[in-house]
Structures are given as structure tokens and as C-alpha cells.
Amino acid sequence: MYKGVAITGMGIISSIGNSVEENYNALLNSQIGITTIENIATVHADVIKVGEIKKTNQELIEELQLGEDNNFSRTAMLGTIAAKQAVKNAGITLINEYRTGLISATSVGGMDMTERYYHEYFDNPEVVKYISSHNAGDNTDKIASELGLKGMVTTISTACSSAANAIMLGARLIKSGKLDRVIVGGTDALSKFTINGFKTLMILSEDYNKPFDNERTGLNLGEAAAYLVLESDELVKKENKKVLARVSGYGNANDAFHQTASSENGDGAFLAMEKAFKIAQLQPEQIDYINVHGTATPNNDLSEGRAIVRLFGENKVPDFSSTKPFTGHTLAAAAAIEAVYSVLAIQNNVVFPNLNFKTPMEEFSLVPQTTLKHATIEHVLSNSFGFGGNCSTLIFSKSE
């Protein structure tokens, strides 16, 4: 078995907490973060529910001690908070001491500011500074500057699978010896743009999202950021680092079926999982928990479920759950926060519940784990799928 790339630090901010500990406690106690939207003025405020971080931009600016002339988007601020936590958690004090990279994921970048000032730009010189914040890369550059990081910095955007690809790239960079350590993850803030985009696609639920339920009505959007620190084994040994868990497998495939919809038999998802098993040198029966993508849209859960049945066998599917009833679907950050939850599952030997589930889907007999369960967790598989047919799977394993 391939033992995988060491994870030595984690950081997260989501609607269920501002730290790893807060997120873990919320998951243990079924405290969900789905509420009415407060920070964005939208005509849909009364009908939609979102996983919103209850901090205003001003509060985030103060927390990060940014100057008055800063031009941080909310996406960049959330990302900076989570990335700083991860670096601190990994015990890194001199960020450029080793060859260190930052691979971040985002789908909206600075859209929150662009939509706020779109028509104001020509009348108010004070907001012109936000024009450059729109670019996805600008958000990552800001996170890198706040960390003081000089090195390989890049950004991935494959819609809702983005952060899984960032973690995968990071693991490959460590494995190939191109970097000694790398901060990987993703960040996305809520925006009118995505709220209305998903609304026009008619996949936003007005109710609390209920993944893998026959009566599921769509997703709740959320916002979040999370990062992991990956380090080479040489560095782990040299610095005597504590390894939280390992990234042992990863796979990426394209469904090549439709620009936004997943194929009915989940070809892309199946291929992504298959590749991840190959890299990890693991068999499906060794997986103790699947953190499914489980957005609660009719299309995703059917496609993902079919792929899981194909790969594991309908009666051999391990415990699985979607944590999106807690956080909402946080788009490019989803795979990063779910990576943190996967590591927590391994560290604490626990399966988090798939809330809001009542009725099994008629297409197969899959029933998610609906209550908190304590069990030995050696390997966790985490799926993430996005528009454009992008499907990615990560496997996390306990460190020896």
C-alpha cells in the first residue's frame, strides 16, 4: 500500500464554525449552519436558505487587521483566515524556509465585490480599487502575501470540484519532490451571481437540503474556506512533525456528458474513484467511510449513487454521508472543508451524520448513515463533482 502524503496542518472557516474545533463540535452535536441570508441583499432572501458565515466584511477586515485602503474580496478574506490557521496548526514559523507552495481553488473569485460595485465604478473613485480583485488569481496572490509566501502559487477552478484538484496537485508536487511543503485548499464567498445562477438552473432548495433522500429538492448554497498543509516525509522526519492523516489517493476524470448535468450512470464519478483506488493501492472494501459529494440535487445524488453502486457493489457500500446539510454546498471550497471533515473522521474514529434523510431513493437501496457513529476509521473516500463534467475523488488514510 502507498502510504500517502502527510497532512500536518488544517484550517477552516464555515457556517458551522470559525476553527477546526468549532466545526468538529458542530458536526458532533448536529448544529447546522443553514439560515436565512443576512450579508447579501437579494430578492430571494425570504425563500432561500444558505450556509452563511455570520461575519460582516467589516468584521473580517478587523479580524485580519487590513488597512482602510485594502481591496480584499470576501473570498480572499475567508481564504486568508483559513490558510493562516492551517499554517499555524502545522507549526510553521518561517514560511519560506523550505520550498513552499500555495495551491488555492475558487469559483467566484472576487465576484462579491464586482456585483456590489458594478454600476458604481464610474461614479465612485473609492471603489475602483476592487476592479483588480475580481480575478481569481488576485485572491490567491493576496492569501500568499498575507502568509508572506514566495514560491509556486497557482489557482484551480473546476467549479464544485476545484479544491479536490488543488489537494491532488499539492500531493503530486510533494510526491514528485518538486516542493517540500504546500498549502492546498479552496475559498468561495456567497454571491448574488451564484445564488441566481443556481436558481435559474432550478437546483436551489427552499427547504433544508436532504442528500440521498427520495424527496430531495436541491441544494443550499454556502460559503467557506479551508486549507491543509502537506509536507514531504523528509521534512516531517526532520522537523519531527505530527502527521494528522495522509492523502493516499486521488483521481480526476471527466464525465463528458453535459455542460452542467451528470450522466445517469455516473461515468466520470466512477472513473475518478477507480483512479483514486489505483493511486492509493487500496481496494474498495478497505474504505470505512465515504464523504459523498451529495449536493441533494436530484441529478447529482442519482449519478453519484449509481457510480458508488457500480464501484462498491450495492450491498457492500461502506458507511456514507453528505455533510452538506450542515454547511450547504460551498462550491470551490467544498472539497477542502470536506477534506478537513475526512481527517477529523480518521482522527476521532467517527462517521458524521447525513442529516435530514428520511426516505431511501427508489433507484437503489443506498441508505446513508443518519446518526453519529463511532467506528474505527482507517480510510475515507471523498467525492467532488462540478460543472463541465469535472469529477474528482480523494482518499485520506490514517498515518501509521
| Contact flag: residue 155 with other proteins (CB under 8 A) | yes
**Which residues in 27-66 contact other proteins (CB under 8 A)?**
42-44
Residue choice 14, 75, 140, 382 for contact with other proteins (CB under 8 A): 140
3 state SS for the chain:
CCCCEEEEEEEEEECCECCHHHHHHHHHCCCCCEECCCCCCCCCCCCCCEECCCCCHHHHHHHHCCCCCCCCCHHHHHHHHHHHHHHHHCCCCCCCCCCEEEEEECCCCCHHHHHHHCCCCCCCHHHHHHHHHHCHHHHHHHHHHHHCCCCCEEEECECECHHHHHHHHHHHHHHCCCCCEEEEEEEECCCHHHHHHHHHCCCECCCCCCCCECCCCCECEECEEEEEEEECHHHHHHCCCCCCEEEEEEEEEECCCCCCCCCCCCHHHHHHHHHHHHHHCCCHHHCCEEECCCCCCHHHHHHHHHHHHHHHCCCCCCEEECCHHHHCECHHHHHHHHHHHHHHHHHHCEECCCCCCCCECCCCCCCCCCCCEECCCCEEEEEEECHHHEEEEEEEECCC
Instruction: By CB under 8 A, tell whether 257 contacts other proteins.
Output: yes
Output 54 or 150, the one with its CB closest to other proteins.
Answer: 150
Q: Which of 84, 172, 310, 373: binder of other proteins (CB under 8 A)? A: 172
Would you count residue 376 as binding other proteins (CB under 8 A)?
A: no
Quote the cell numbers at residue 122.
Answer: 464610474
Which span (47-55, 62-70, 72-80, 197-205) binds other proteins, by CB under 8 A? Answer: 197-205
Shortest approach of other proteins to residue 169 CB, angstroms?
A: 7
Among 119, 126, 240, 376, binds other proteins (CB under 8 A): 119
Asked if residue 237 lies in contact with residue 191, where contact means CB atoms within 8 angstroms, the answer is no
Active site residues: 160, 293, 329
Selected from 34, 144, 219, 394, the binder of other proteins by CB under 8 A is: 144
172 contacts 119 by C-beta, under 8 angstroms: no
Q: Does 164 bind other proteins (CB under 8 A)?
A: no
Question: Is 267 near other proteins (CB under 8 A)?
Answer: yes
- Which residue in 48, 152, 243, 367 binds other proteins (CB under 8 A)? 152
Stretch near other proteins under the rule CB under 8 A, chosen from 20-28, 146-154, 289-297, 374-382: 146-154
Stretch in the footprint of other proteins (CB under 8 A) among 205-213, 344-352, 369-377, 386-394: 386-394
CB of 283 to other proteins, least distance (A): 21
| Residue among 253, 292, 333, 339 that touches other proteins (CB under 8 A) | 253
Shortest distance in whole angstroms from residue 239 CB to other proteins: 24
The minimum distance between CB 156 and other proteins, in angstroms, equals 6
Q: Which of 25, 36, 154, 365 binds other proteins (CB under 8 A)?
A: 154
Binding residues for other proteins, per CB under 8 A? 42-44, 102, 106-107, 109, 111, 114-115, 118-119, 121-122, 128, 131-132, 134-138, 140-141, 144-145, 149-159, 165, 169, 172-173, 176, 178, 192-193, 196-197, 199-201, 252-260, 267-268, 271, 386-390
